[in-house]
Protein backbone atom coordinates (compact mmCIF):
# COMPACT_ATOMS: atom_id res chain seq x y z
CA UNK A 1 0.00 0.00 0.00
CA UNK A 2 1.17 3.50 -0.68
CA UNK A 3 1.61 5.60 2.46
CA UNK A 4 2.81 9.08 3.32
CA UNK A 5 5.95 8.95 5.42
CA UNK A 6 7.95 11.50 7.33
CA UNK A 7 11.65 10.89 7.88
CA UNK A 8 12.42 11.79 11.50
CA UNK A 9 16.04 10.67 11.61
CA UNK A 10 18.53 8.38 9.97
CA UNK A 11 16.73 5.26 11.18
CA UNK A 12 13.17 6.34 11.96
CA UNK A 13 10.25 6.63 9.56
CA UNK A 14 6.73 7.52 10.65
CA UNK A 15 3.81 5.80 8.93
CA UNK A 16 0.06 5.76 9.64
CA UNK A 17 -0.59 3.50 12.62
CA UNK A 18 -2.01 0.03 11.95
CA UNK A 19 -3.70 -2.65 14.04
CA UNK A 20 -1.89 -3.81 17.16
CA UNK A 21 0.39 -6.76 16.50
CA UNK A 22 0.85 -5.90 12.80
CA UNK A 23 4.14 -6.87 11.15
CA UNK A 24 5.80 -3.64 10.00
CA UNK A 25 8.60 -2.97 7.54
CA UNK A 26 9.68 -0.06 5.36
CA UNK A 27 10.22 -0.58 1.65
CA UNK A 28 11.19 1.71 -1.20
CA UNK A 29 9.03 2.77 -4.12
CA UNK A 30 9.59 1.06 -7.45
CA UNK A 31 13.12 1.60 -8.76
CA UNK A 32 14.16 2.87 -5.35
CA UNK A 33 17.58 2.17 -3.90
CA UNK A 34 16.55 1.01 -0.41
CA UNK A 35 15.42 -2.60 -0.06
CA UNK A 36 12.73 -3.49 2.45
CA UNK A 37 14.23 -4.28 5.85
CA UNK A 38 13.43 -7.07 8.30
CA UNK A 39 9.99 -7.31 9.85
CA UNK A 40 9.45 -7.08 13.60
CA UNK A 41 6.42 -8.06 15.61
CA UNK A 42 5.55 -5.08 17.81
CA UNK A 43 4.27 -7.26 20.66
CA UNK A 44 7.78 -8.71 21.07
CA UNK A 45 10.53 -6.12 20.63
CA UNK A 46 13.42 -4.24 22.27
CA UNK A 47 12.79 -0.71 21.03
CA UNK A 48 14.90 1.79 23.02
CA UNK A 49 18.18 1.68 24.97
CA UNK A 50 20.02 4.33 26.99
CA UNK A 51 23.28 4.33 28.93
CA UNK A 52 22.59 5.81 32.38
CA UNK A 53 25.01 8.17 34.12
CA UNK A 54 26.42 5.17 36.04
CA UNK A 55 27.24 3.49 32.70
CA UNK A 56 24.58 0.77 33.03
CA UNK A 57 22.32 0.14 30.03
CA UNK A 58 18.56 0.59 30.40
CA UNK A 59 16.60 -1.34 27.74
CA UNK A 60 12.91 -0.75 27.01
CA UNK A 61 11.11 -3.86 25.76
CA UNK A 62 7.79 -5.43 24.84
CA UNK A 63 6.99 -9.12 25.00
CA UNK A 64 8.36 -10.40 28.31
CA UNK A 65 4.87 -10.23 29.90
CA UNK A 66 6.12 -9.44 33.40
CA UNK A 67 3.66 -8.46 36.12
CA UNK A 68 3.14 -4.78 37.00
CA UNK A 69 4.87 -3.34 40.06
CA UNK A 70 6.85 -6.54 40.63
CA UNK A 71 10.61 -7.04 40.43
CA UNK A 72 11.34 -10.18 38.42
CA UNK A 73 14.19 -12.68 38.69
CA UNK A 74 17.11 -11.09 36.83
CA UNK A 75 19.09 -14.34 36.71
CA UNK A 76 16.69 -15.72 34.08
CA UNK A 77 17.77 -13.11 31.53
CA UNK A 78 20.84 -11.62 29.92
CA UNK A 79 21.48 -8.63 27.68
CA UNK A 80 23.10 -9.04 24.28
CA UNK A 81 24.95 -6.45 22.21
CA UNK A 82 25.69 -6.71 18.49
CA UNK A 83 23.95 -6.78 15.12
CA UNK A 84 22.92 -10.37 14.35
CA UNK A 85 21.21 -11.87 17.41
CA UNK A 86 20.48 -15.13 15.59
CA UNK A 87 24.15 -16.07 15.97
CA UNK A 88 25.02 -15.90 19.66
CA UNK A 89 28.72 -16.45 18.95
CA UNK A 90 28.81 -13.01 17.32
CA UNK A 91 27.28 -11.02 20.19
CA UNK A 92 28.48 -9.76 23.55
CA UNK A 93 26.52 -10.91 26.57
CA UNK A 94 26.13 -9.09 29.86
CA UNK A 95 24.52 -9.51 33.26
CA UNK A 96 21.00 -8.24 33.90
CA UNK A 97 21.11 -6.19 37.12
CA UNK A 98 17.35 -5.67 37.46
CA UNK A 99 14.22 -6.36 35.46
CA UNK A 100 10.68 -5.17 36.13
CA UNK A 101 7.60 -4.56 33.98
CA UNK A 102 9.06 -3.57 30.60
CA UNK A 103 12.44 -2.14 31.68
CA UNK A 104 15.71 -4.07 31.88
CA UNK A 105 18.93 -2.70 33.41
CA UNK A 106 22.18 -4.37 32.31
CA UNK A 107 25.87 -4.10 33.03
CA UNK A 108 27.31 -2.45 29.91
CA UNK A 109 30.38 -4.27 28.57
CA UNK A 110 33.46 -2.06 28.83
CA UNK A 111 34.38 -2.67 25.19
CA UNK A 112 30.96 -1.34 24.16
CA UNK A 113 31.33 1.79 26.28
CA UNK A 114 34.79 2.54 24.93
CA UNK A 115 33.92 1.89 21.29
CA UNK A 116 30.67 3.87 21.39
CA UNK A 117 32.41 6.98 22.67
CA UNK A 118 34.93 6.85 19.81
CA UNK A 119 32.62 6.30 16.84
CA UNK A 120 29.27 7.63 15.72
CA UNK A 121 27.66 4.28 14.89
CA UNK A 122 25.76 2.42 17.59
CA UNK A 123 25.36 -1.27 18.32
CA UNK A 124 21.96 -2.81 18.88
CA UNK A 125 20.88 -4.13 22.27
CA UNK A 126 18.35 -6.82 23.14
CA UNK A 127 17.29 -9.13 25.97
CA UNK A 128 17.60 -12.90 25.89
CA UNK A 129 15.72 -15.39 28.03
CA UNK A 130 18.32 -17.92 29.14
CA UNK A 131 17.49 -21.25 27.55
CA UNK A 132 15.02 -19.46 25.29
CA UNK A 133 14.87 -16.87 22.56
CA UNK A 134 16.12 -13.33 22.08
CA UNK A 135 13.73 -10.44 21.54
CA UNK A 136 13.95 -8.86 18.08
CA UNK A 137 15.53 -5.42 18.42
CA UNK A 138 15.58 -2.00 16.83
CA UNK A 139 17.12 -0.51 20.00
CA UNK A 140 20.42 1.17 19.26
CA UNK A 141 22.45 2.26 22.23
CA UNK A 142 22.08 5.94 23.09
CA UNK A 143 23.98 8.06 25.60
CA UNK A 144 22.77 10.74 27.99
CA UNK A 145 24.72 13.98 28.05
CA UNK A 146 25.93 13.12 31.55
CA UNK A 147 26.63 9.39 30.98
CA UNK A 148 29.62 8.28 33.00
CA UNK A 149 29.52 11.38 35.21
CA UNK A 150 28.44 9.95 38.52
CA UNK A 151 27.78 11.53 41.01
CA UNK A 152 25.37 14.13 39.66
CA UNK A 153 26.05 17.86 40.08
CA UNK A 154 24.96 19.34 43.39
CA UNK A 155 23.18 22.19 41.65
CA UNK A 156 21.05 21.51 38.58
CA UNK A 157 19.95 24.04 35.94
CA UNK A 158 16.22 23.72 36.71
CA UNK A 159 14.34 23.58 40.00
CA UNK A 160 11.06 22.32 38.51
CA UNK A 161 10.30 20.45 35.28
CA UNK A 162 7.30 18.66 33.80
CA UNK A 163 7.12 15.57 31.60
CA UNK A 164 4.07 14.38 29.70
CA UNK A 165 3.07 11.93 27.00
CA UNK A 166 0.55 13.32 24.56
CA UNK A 167 -1.27 12.44 21.38
CA UNK A 168 -3.09 15.15 19.37
CA UNK A 169 -3.15 17.72 22.17
CA UNK A 170 -1.93 20.67 20.10
CA UNK A 171 -4.89 22.93 20.84
CA UNK A 172 -4.39 22.55 24.60
CA UNK A 173 -0.59 22.66 24.85
CA UNK A 174 -0.29 26.43 24.77
CA UNK A 175 -2.49 26.98 27.83
CA UNK A 176 -0.84 24.11 29.69
CA UNK A 177 2.73 25.33 29.10
CA UNK A 178 2.14 29.05 29.65
CA UNK A 179 0.14 28.55 32.85
CA UNK A 180 2.74 26.26 34.39
CA UNK A 181 5.49 28.73 33.44
CA UNK A 182 3.61 31.41 35.36
CA UNK A 183 3.61 29.30 38.53
CA UNK A 184 7.29 28.43 38.27
CA UNK A 185 7.88 25.48 35.92
CA UNK A 186 11.12 25.97 33.97
CA UNK A 187 11.44 22.98 31.62
CA UNK A 188 8.99 20.79 29.64
CA UNK A 189 9.60 17.34 28.12
CA UNK A 190 6.89 16.39 25.62
CA UNK A 191 6.78 12.72 24.56
CA UNK A 192 4.80 12.74 21.32
CA UNK A 193 2.87 9.47 20.99
CA UNK A 194 1.95 9.44 17.27
CA UNK A 195 0.31 12.85 16.99
CA UNK A 196 -0.97 13.80 13.54
CA UNK A 197 -2.20 17.28 14.42
CA UNK A 198 -0.11 20.47 14.82
CA UNK A 199 1.70 19.34 18.01
CA UNK A 200 5.16 19.77 16.47
CA UNK A 201 4.36 23.30 15.25
CA UNK A 202 2.92 24.40 18.60
CA UNK A 203 5.97 23.10 20.47
CA UNK A 204 8.29 24.86 18.02
CA UNK A 205 6.40 28.14 18.43
CA UNK A 206 6.57 27.86 22.22
CA UNK A 207 10.30 27.18 22.08
CA UNK A 208 10.86 30.13 19.76
CA UNK A 209 8.84 32.31 22.16
CA UNK A 210 11.21 31.56 25.03
CA UNK A 211 9.89 28.42 26.69
CA UNK A 212 12.43 25.68 27.40
CA UNK A 213 10.44 22.89 25.80
CA UNK A 214 11.47 19.90 23.68
CA UNK A 215 9.60 17.24 21.73
CA UNK A 216 10.72 13.63 21.91
CA UNK A 217 9.25 11.21 19.39
CA UNK A 218 7.86 8.21 21.27
CA UNK A 219 5.76 6.22 18.77
CA UNK A 220 5.48 3.01 20.81
CA UNK A 221 1.88 2.05 21.62
CA UNK A 222 0.82 1.56 25.25
CA UNK A 223 4.20 2.40 26.76
CA UNK A 224 3.46 5.41 28.97
CA UNK A 225 5.27 3.90 31.95
CA UNK A 226 8.35 3.22 29.83
CA UNK A 227 8.23 6.72 28.39
CA UNK A 228 8.10 8.27 31.85
CA UNK A 229 11.06 6.16 32.98
CA UNK A 230 12.95 7.26 29.86
CA UNK A 231 12.12 10.88 30.66
CA UNK A 232 13.26 10.49 34.28
CA UNK A 233 16.65 9.31 33.01
CA UNK A 234 16.96 12.30 30.68
CA UNK A 235 15.96 14.76 33.40
CA UNK A 236 18.30 13.39 36.06
CA UNK A 237 21.14 15.77 35.28
CA UNK A 238 18.95 18.83 34.65
CA UNK A 239 15.97 18.86 37.02
CA UNK A 240 15.85 18.96 40.82
CA UNK A 241 12.18 17.96 40.66
CA UNK A 242 10.07 16.72 37.77
CA UNK A 243 6.30 16.28 37.69
CA UNK A 244 4.54 13.65 35.60
CA UNK A 245 1.12 14.93 34.56
CA UNK A 246 -1.08 14.90 31.45
CA UNK A 247 -1.90 17.88 29.25
CA UNK A 248 -5.43 17.99 30.73
CA UNK A 249 -4.00 18.21 34.28
CA UNK A 250 -3.04 21.50 35.93
CA UNK A 251 -1.21 22.01 39.22
CA UNK A 252 -3.30 24.32 41.42
CA UNK A 253 -1.60 26.07 44.33
CA UNK A 254 -4.38 27.54 46.51
CA UNK A 255 -1.77 29.23 48.75
CA UNK A 256 -0.74 31.50 45.86
CA UNK A 257 2.93 30.50 46.21
CA UNK A 258 5.17 29.43 43.36
CA UNK A 259 5.70 25.74 42.74
CA UNK A 260 9.34 25.68 43.86
CA UNK A 261 8.40 27.46 47.12
CA UNK A 262 5.69 24.90 47.87
CA UNK A 263 8.09 22.03 47.17
CA UNK A 264 10.80 23.62 49.30
CA UNK A 265 8.39 24.10 52.21
CA UNK A 266 7.17 20.51 51.96
CA UNK A 267 10.57 18.85 51.70
CA UNK A 268 12.34 20.93 54.36
CA UNK A 269 9.82 20.03 57.07
CA UNK A 270 11.24 17.67 59.70
CA UNK A 271 8.95 14.67 60.10
CA UNK A 272 8.65 11.76 62.49
CA UNK A 273 10.53 9.66 59.93
CA UNK A 274 13.80 11.30 60.93
CA UNK A 275 16.34 12.37 58.35
CA UNK A 276 15.10 10.20 55.47
CA UNK A 277 14.95 12.44 52.42
CA UNK A 278 11.75 13.17 50.53
CA UNK A 279 11.97 11.75 47.00
CA UNK A 280 8.35 11.93 45.83
CA UNK A 281 5.48 14.35 46.39
CA UNK A 282 2.05 12.83 45.75
CA UNK A 283 -0.64 15.28 44.72
CA UNK A 284 -4.36 14.44 44.82
CA UNK A 285 -6.37 14.76 41.60
CA UNK A 286 -9.82 16.34 41.38
CA UNK A 287 -11.71 15.16 38.28
CA UNK A 288 -13.74 17.89 36.56
CA UNK A 289 -16.79 17.31 34.36
CA UNK A 290 -18.20 19.12 31.30
CA UNK A 291 -19.71 21.71 33.69
CA UNK A 292 -22.78 22.22 31.53
CA UNK A 293 -20.75 23.10 28.43
CA UNK A 294 -21.27 21.68 24.95
CA UNK A 295 -18.47 23.54 23.18
CA UNK A 296 -14.77 23.98 23.95
CA UNK A 297 -14.41 27.02 26.27
CA UNK A 298 -12.69 29.94 24.53
CA UNK A 299 -10.69 31.08 27.57
CA UNK A 300 -9.31 27.61 28.19
CA UNK A 301 -10.08 24.64 30.38
CA UNK A 302 -9.15 26.28 33.71
CA UNK A 303 -11.71 29.04 33.29
CA UNK A 304 -14.31 26.96 31.43
CA UNK A 305 -14.69 23.86 33.62
CA UNK A 306 -15.79 24.60 37.17
CA UNK A 307 -17.76 21.55 38.36
CA UNK A 308 -16.15 18.34 39.61
CA UNK A 309 -16.53 15.15 41.59
CA UNK A 310 -16.26 15.55 45.37
CA UNK A 311 -13.80 12.75 46.10
CA UNK A 312 -10.29 12.92 44.55
CA UNK A 313 -9.35 10.19 42.06
CA UNK A 314 -5.83 8.80 42.47
CA UNK A 315 -2.80 11.08 42.58
CA UNK A 316 0.07 12.30 40.41
CA UNK A 317 3.71 12.61 41.40
CA UNK A 318 6.54 15.13 41.48
CA UNK A 319 9.83 13.30 42.02
CA UNK A 320 13.56 13.78 42.46
CA UNK A 321 14.95 11.76 39.52
CA UNK A 322 17.91 10.40 41.51
CA UNK A 323 15.54 9.10 44.22
CA UNK A 324 13.96 6.54 41.88
CA UNK A 325 14.59 2.84 42.39
CA UNK A 326 17.06 1.45 39.84
CA UNK A 327 14.25 -0.63 38.28
CA UNK A 328 12.45 2.62 37.37
CA UNK A 329 9.12 0.93 38.20
CA UNK A 330 6.16 3.26 37.87
CA UNK A 331 2.44 2.84 37.37
CA UNK A 332 2.02 6.27 35.76
CA UNK A 333 0.74 7.82 38.99
CA UNK A 334 3.77 7.02 41.16
CA UNK A 335 7.29 5.60 41.14
CA UNK A 336 9.11 3.16 43.38
CA UNK A 337 11.85 4.88 45.40
CA UNK A 338 15.25 3.91 46.70
CA UNK A 339 15.35 2.73 50.32
CA UNK A 340 16.85 6.02 51.57
CA UNK A 341 13.95 8.08 50.20
CA UNK A 342 10.25 8.21 50.99
CA UNK A 343 7.13 9.94 49.66
CA UNK A 344 4.74 12.41 51.24
CA UNK A 345 1.09 13.16 50.51
CA UNK A 346 0.39 16.85 50.00
CA UNK A 347 -2.36 18.62 51.90
CA UNK A 348 -4.92 19.64 49.26
CA UNK A 349 -4.96 23.15 50.73
CA UNK A 350 -1.34 23.54 49.56
CA UNK A 351 -1.44 21.84 46.17
CA UNK A 352 -3.85 19.78 44.08
CA UNK A 353 -4.13 18.64 40.47
CA UNK A 354 -7.18 19.86 38.60
CA UNK A 355 -7.78 17.02 36.14
CA UNK A 356 -10.09 18.17 33.35
CA UNK A 357 -10.82 14.55 32.58
CA UNK A 358 -14.40 14.73 31.32
CA UNK A 359 -14.50 17.69 28.96
CA UNK A 360 -17.07 18.46 26.26
CA UNK A 361 -17.86 15.36 24.21
CA UNK A 362 -15.95 16.62 21.16
CA UNK A 363 -12.76 16.37 23.23
CA UNK A 364 -13.53 13.38 25.40
CA UNK A 365 -14.48 11.06 22.54
CA UNK A 366 -10.89 11.20 21.26
CA UNK A 367 -9.88 9.07 24.24
CA UNK A 368 -11.75 6.14 22.75
CA UNK A 369 -9.01 5.76 20.15
CA UNK A 370 -6.76 4.10 22.75
CA UNK A 371 -5.26 4.58 26.19
CA UNK A 372 -1.49 5.05 26.44
CA UNK A 373 -0.82 3.24 29.75
CA UNK A 374 0.47 -0.33 29.48
CA UNK A 375 -1.79 -1.92 32.07
CA UNK A 376 -4.97 0.10 31.41
CA UNK A 377 -7.61 -1.27 29.02
CA UNK A 378 -8.73 0.82 26.06
CA UNK A 379 -12.18 2.38 26.49
CA UNK A 380 -13.64 0.25 23.72
CA UNK A 381 -12.35 -3.05 25.14
CA UNK A 382 -14.88 -5.22 26.93
CA UNK A 383 -12.66 -5.84 29.95
CA UNK A 384 -12.16 -4.37 33.41
CA UNK A 385 -15.44 -2.50 33.01
CA UNK A 386 -15.55 -1.73 36.75
CA UNK A 387 -12.05 -0.30 36.86
CA UNK A 388 -11.52 3.16 38.38
CA UNK A 389 -9.84 4.10 35.10
CA UNK A 390 -13.22 4.00 33.37
CA UNK A 391 -15.92 6.64 33.44
CA UNK A 392 -18.85 5.31 35.51
CA UNK A 393 -21.67 4.03 33.32
CA UNK A 394 -20.08 5.27 30.11
CA UNK A 395 -19.84 1.96 28.31
CA UNK A 396 -17.37 0.97 25.61
CA UNK A 397 -18.52 2.91 22.55
CA UNK A 398 -17.86 6.50 21.52
CA UNK A 399 -21.53 7.47 21.59
CA UNK A 400 -22.40 10.68 23.43
CA UNK A 401 -24.78 10.13 26.37
CA UNK A 402 -27.75 12.50 26.20
CA UNK A 403 -26.88 13.98 29.59
CA UNK A 404 -23.12 14.21 29.04
CA UNK A 405 -22.80 17.97 29.68
CA UNK A 406 -24.26 17.58 33.19
CA UNK A 407 -22.34 14.50 34.26
CA UNK A 408 -19.55 14.30 36.88
CA UNK A 409 -20.77 17.48 38.52
CA UNK A 410 -21.09 17.17 42.30
CA UNK A 411 -19.54 20.40 43.59
CA UNK A 412 -18.69 23.79 42.10
CA UNK A 413 -14.99 24.62 42.30
CA UNK A 414 -13.80 27.97 40.89
CA UNK A 415 -10.54 28.15 42.85
CA UNK A 416 -8.17 27.88 39.89
CA UNK A 417 -10.45 29.88 37.61
CA UNK A 418 -10.49 32.74 40.10
CA UNK A 419 -6.71 32.77 40.45
CA UNK A 420 -6.16 32.69 36.70
CA UNK A 421 -8.54 35.60 36.03
CA UNK A 422 -7.22 37.59 38.98
CA UNK A 423 -3.50 37.18 38.30
CA UNK A 424 -3.05 36.51 34.59
CA UNK A 425 -5.82 38.32 32.67
CA UNK A 426 -5.10 41.65 30.97
CA UNK A 427 -7.44 44.67 31.25
CA UNK A 428 -9.53 43.29 28.37
CA UNK A 429 -9.95 40.01 30.30
CA UNK A 430 -8.03 37.94 27.75
CA UNK A 431 -5.45 35.44 28.91
CA UNK A 432 -1.83 34.86 27.78
CA UNK A 433 -2.65 31.70 25.84
CA UNK A 434 -5.34 33.58 23.91
CA UNK A 435 -3.05 36.36 22.75
CA UNK A 436 0.67 35.61 22.55
CA UNK A 437 3.22 32.94 23.39
CA UNK A 438 6.05 35.45 23.76
CA UNK A 439 7.23 35.59 27.37
CA UNK A 440 8.91 38.94 26.78
CA UNK A 441 5.72 40.53 25.42
CA UNK A 442 2.82 41.76 27.50
CA UNK A 443 4.29 43.29 30.68
CA UNK A 444 0.87 43.01 32.29
CA UNK A 445 1.70 39.41 33.33
CA UNK A 446 1.67 39.77 37.10
CA UNK A 447 4.27 37.04 37.68
CA UNK A 448 6.26 37.51 34.45
CA UNK A 449 9.50 38.51 36.14
CA UNK A 450 9.72 35.15 37.87
CA UNK A 451 9.93 33.07 34.69
CA UNK A 452 13.30 32.00 33.35
CA UNK A 453 15.20 32.58 30.12
CA UNK A 454 15.24 29.89 27.49
CA UNK A 455 17.97 27.26 27.66
CA UNK A 456 19.60 25.55 24.72
CA UNK A 457 17.24 23.26 22.81
CA UNK A 458 18.13 19.58 23.20
| Residue 255, domain CATH | 3.90.550
Structural domain includes residue 153: no
Structural domain includes residue 382: yes
Do 239 and 211 share a structural domain?
yes
pTM of the model: 0.84
C-alpha 130/C-alpha 77 separation (Å) is: 5
Do 122 and 186 share a structural domain?
no
Domain final residue pick, 376, 396, 411: 411
Do 306 and 190 share a structural domain?
yes
Instruction: Spell out a b/e string for 275-305, using b for 16 or more CB atoms within 10 Å of the CB, else e.
Output: eeebbbbbbbbbbbbbbebeeebebbbbbbb
Structural domain includes residue 8: no
Do 292 and 248 share a structural domain?
yes
Domain final residue pick, 143, 176, 198: 143
Short-list 412, 332, 400, CA closest to 364: 400
Structural domain includes residue 248: yes
Which positions of the chain have pLDDT values less than 70? 1-41, 116-121, 145-154, 269-275, 368-393, 395-396, 436-458
For 264, the domain range is 158-411
Structural domain includes residue 132: yes
Do 131 and 182 share a structural domain?
no
Structural domain includes residue 113: yes
According to DSSP, the β-strands at 249-252 and 56-62 are unpaired
Domain final residue pick, 110, 143, 176: 143
Say what the pLDDT of residue 372 is.
62
Short-list 414, 14, 458, 457, CA closest to 192: 14
181 exposure class (CB count in 10 Å sphere: 0-12, 13-18, 19+): buried
SS3 for 424? Answer: helix
Structural domains counted in the chain: 2
Structural domain includes residue 177: yes
Do 305 and 174 share a structural domain?
yes
Percentages of the chain per state (helix, strand, coil), in multiples of 5: 20, 25, 55
Short-list 407, 178, 368, CA closest to 287: 407
Do 84 and 168 share a structural domain?
no
For position 91, which CATH number holds? 2.60.40
C-alpha 242/C-alpha 229 separation (Å) is: 12
SS3 for 230? Answer: helix
Structural domain includes residue 273: yes
Do 261 and 181 share a structural domain?
yes
Do 176 and 118 share a structural domain?
no
Do 309 and 214 share a structural domain?
yes
SS3 for 164? Answer: strand
Angle at 435 between CA 431 and CA 441, to 5 degrees: 95
Do 164 and 135 share a structural domain?
no
DSSP 188-221: EEEEE-S--SSHHHHHHHHHHTT--EEEEE---T
Amino acid sequence: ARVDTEQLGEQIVRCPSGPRGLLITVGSKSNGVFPAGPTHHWDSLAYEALVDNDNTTVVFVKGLNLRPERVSNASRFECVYGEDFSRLKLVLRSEVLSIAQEIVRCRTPLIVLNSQKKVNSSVKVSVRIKGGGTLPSIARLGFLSDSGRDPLPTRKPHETCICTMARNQARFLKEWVIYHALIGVQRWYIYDNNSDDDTDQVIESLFNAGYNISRHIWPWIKTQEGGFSHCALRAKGSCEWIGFIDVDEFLHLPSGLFLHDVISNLTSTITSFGNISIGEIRVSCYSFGPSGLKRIPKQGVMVGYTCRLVVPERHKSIVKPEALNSTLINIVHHFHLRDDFRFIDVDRRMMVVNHYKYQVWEVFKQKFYRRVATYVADWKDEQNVRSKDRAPGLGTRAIEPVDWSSRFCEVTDTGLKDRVLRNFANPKNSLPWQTTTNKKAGTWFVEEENTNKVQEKE
